[in-house]
Amino acid sequence: MISGKPNNLEEIKVILATDCGSTTTKAILIEYVNGEYRQTYRGEAPTTVEEPVADVTAGVINAVTEVGELAGRKLVDEQGEIIRPANGNIGCDIYISTSSAGGGLQMMVAGVVREMSAASAKRAALGAGAIVMETIASNDKKLPHEQIQRIRELRPDMILIAGGTDGGTRKHVLKIAELIAPAKPRPRFGHSYKMPVIFAGNIEARSLIEETFDDSVALTMIENVRPTLEQENLAPARDEIHELFLEHVMSHAPGYQKLIEWTDTAIMPTPGAVGDILKMIAESKKINAVGVDIGGATTDVFSVFDGVFNRTVSANLGMSYSISNVCAEATMPKILRWVHVDMVERELRNRVKNKMIRPTTIPQTLESLIFEQAVAREALKLAYVQHKEFATTLKGVQQRRTIGDTFTQSGGGHTIVNNMKLDLLVASGGVLSHAPRMEQTAMMLIDSFEPEGITTLAKDSIFMMPHLGVLAQVHPKAAQEVFERDCLIPLGTCISPYGKSLKGKTCFQYEITSKTINEQGVMEFGSLKRIPLDSDESVKIKITPTRQFNMGAGYGKPVEKQIQGGTVGIILDARGRPLELPEETNERKTLIQKWVEAMDLYPSN
């Protein structure tokens, strides 16, 4: 894995990591200080994949030079290359990188049944960090020539075909291949390389698939993503996607050949790396976690529930390039329901479009900030709905029924995302990370994800999850230590029972105890309260809901837990779940105003 570099993990003391984004290349330095790994310095520079530079390594060197200057460490030699291994305050022990430059990895997937093999193929592609442009299936209600037309229009970086369990249908798999082969799909990066096509379906259909495609594509065969109906096997497909990403896509992007040679482990697509680190943390702490990264163009949602990882990317939900699409999909009345001050829709529509055409502008006025955060709530809500619809149990699994199941049996395909079981919710991306007050970040998360029970909220301090994801491949211990100490900023803990009642009725009683705090009280339905509690403080909390509400132990059943503080503290949310807002405008505005005051969200003047 690490050629010519320290083989013993303990010898690795200085780690340099970069993330080459579409617009910015971010470099971080991780050092072994006082017996633990810490992120120490950070630098950034514009990404240089476009003309006139057209060499990604120029941006990398600029960002790394900035880190080096800040750290007082010489990281780049006279030949413009990264110095390794570390010796005193010169060089680093390993260098690793992720990349989403050039629009990331864009894929098309195909399978026989949309909800089964095509869904498995989509999960494999998304898990590898790709944007899935289109899913083709036998049952997608398009006529064959329409499907072929669609394949011809798309220009993916690669295609993943699944279908059929091992030893199962060959005919239907072949039919899918017969749609793709004559369409002669062309890769995004011009004529210089053959379109990579991965077949991850019925192993007995391989020879037929080979006969169907001519040599205009680069066909590879890997293990079936759905060898049996009950089993999904995504890892081989995911590894192959990563390999082809490096071999075909990355090596054709300007300067990447050099970057590939520089790095000590394979370059990963940025979202793939973010997913890996979240998965690692969830596994090591044995918790269920959800992470979100809201960008200008896209929103990624990652989840780990009972050890099962899922990732979705909502390609047209974002806060600058895609803000207009959020408003079109959510509709303006839904966005404005989060706003407690008067705003004129015709004017707002112009503002949204102006943000879209000039994506780098920032809110100057408070009104502008309130509106953008309202848009963010709806963008996050839409992205989470898409995620829940996608993160499901396997469809098509045959289940053994007993007499007791007669009325309750559910087929496969129900969501595995369960907000009551959610332990940790992590925020990342401009609108969440750069909100002027942490309370705003916390409330955007709570209003859009609606966590239930007891949930820890955190945010990625400087968006270093991609770096740590790829570091986890090489040095899991260092990745986990930095993640816990420097990456996550704890916002606090949200307490929110499931259920609803009448306004003013009791929702729950709370008791908070520690060496320094002893507080108890009653929360009325519809109210919100913040109790400050520092990040390094821990308290015991007992919540006793009324019988209309459930905290996870059953309706009316109390729960007790040791919880941690954060920059916001404890948020007692008695607004009920699902969260509903009054239809009547004035009533709604008054209520939102109360919540704003309770959380001290915005300056009062």
Partner 1 sequence: MAKAYTPGLTVSERTTHQVQRILPVAGKVLVEKGDTTKAQEVIAKAELPGDVYPVNLSHALSIPPSDVGECLLISTGAEIRAGDLIAQSKGIFGFFKTDYIAKTSGTLEAISEITGQIIIRGAPQPVEILSYLSGKVVEIIPNEGATIESEVAFIQGIFGIGGEAYGKIHVAVKKPGDALTPEMLTADMEGKIIIGGARMSYETIQKAIDIKAAAIISGGIDDQDMKELLGYDLGVAITGTEKIGTTVIITEGFGDIAMADKTFAMFSKFQNAEASVSGATHIRAGVMRPEILIPLNPDQSKEHSSSIHAGLLEIGRPVRMIRDPYFGKLGKVTDLPTEPQLLASGSKARVLEVEIKNGNRIIVPRANIELIEA
- Of 146 and 405, CB closest to partner 1: 146
Our finding on whether 365 is near partner 1 (CB under 8 A) is yes
- Is residue 285 a contact point for partner 1 (CB under 8 A)? no
Torsion, Cα of 280, 281, 284, 288 (10° steps): -110
- Contact window for partner 1 (CB under 8 A) among 180-188, 252-260, 450-458, 588-596: 180-188
Angle at which helices 345-357 and 323-330 cross, to 10°? 140
**If you search the block for the tokens 């970069």, which residue do you land on?**
18
Residues 360, 506: Cα–Cα separation, whole Å: 46
**The binder of partner 1 chosen from 11, 69, 144, 518 (CB under 8 A):** 144
**CA-CA-CA-CA torsion sign (386, 595, 568, 456):** negative
Check the CA dihedral 52-53-55-60 and report its sign. negative
Is 148 a binder of partner 1 (CB under 8 A)? yes
Cβ neighbourhood burial of 51 (10 Å; 0-12, 13-18, 19+): exposed
Nearer to partner 1, 294 or 471 (CB): 294
- Greatest pairwise CA separation for the chain in angstroms: 76
Residue 74 or 186: the one with the smaller Cβ distance to partner 1 is 186
- Contact letters (x/-) for partner 1, 89-108, by CB under 8 A? -------------xx-----
The tokens for 469 are 């994801």
β-strand pairing of 559-564 with 569-574 = unpaired
Query: Are 470 and 265 within 8 A, CB to CB?
Result: yes
Shortest gap between Cβ of 537 and partner 1 (angstroms)? 26
368 or 386, CB closer to partner 1? Answer: 368
Q: Out of 321, 420, 433, 500, name the contact with partner 1 by CB under 8 A.
A: 321
Asked if 354 interacts with partner 1 (CB under 8 A), we say yes
In the bound complex, what is the minimum distance in angstroms from residue 175's beta carbon to partner 1?
5
Q: Does 316 bind partner 1 (CB under 8 A)?
A: yes
Q: Is 333 in the site for partner 1 (CB under 8 A)?
A: no
CB of 61 to partner 1, least distance (A): 20
Residue 175 or 395 having the CB closest to partner 1: 175
C-alpha span between 589 and 575 (Å, rounded) = 15
**Binding residues for partner 1, how many (CB under 8 A)?**
56
User: How many CA atoms lie within 13 Å of 115's alpha carbon, on the beta-carbon side?
Assistant: 14
Q: Return the number of the residue (328 or 522) whose C-beta is nearest partner 1.
A: 328
Enumerate the β-bridge partners of residue 304.
289, 309
* Candidates 2-10, 141-149, 195-203, 378-386; binding stretch for partner 1 (CB under 8 A): 141-149
Distance between CA 434 and CA 197 in Å, rounded? Answer: 40
Segment 191-210, which members bind partner 1 (CB under 8 A)? 208
Checking DSSP bridges between strand 538-545 and strand 559-564, what pairing results, if any? Answer: antiparallel
Q: Quick one: which segment of 86-94, 157-165, 176-184, 479-487 binds partner 1 (CB under 8 A)?
A: 176-184
137 is an interface residue for partner 1 by CB under 8 A: no
DSSP codes joined into one string, 117-172? HHHHHHHHHHHTTEEEEEEEETTSS--HHHHHHHHHH---SEEEE--S-TTS-SHH
- 217: contact with partner 1 by CB under 8 A: no
Window 152-171: contact mask with partner 1 (x via CB under 8 A): ------------------xx
3-state secondary structure of 101: helix
Is position 183 an interface residue for partner 1 (rule: CB under 8 A)? yes
Residues near partner 1 (CB under 8 A) are 22-23, 50, 102-103, 144-145, 148-149, 170-171, 174-175, 178-179, 182-184, 208, 212, 297, 316, 321-322, 324-325, 327-329, 346-347, 349-366, 368-369, 434, 436-437, 602-603
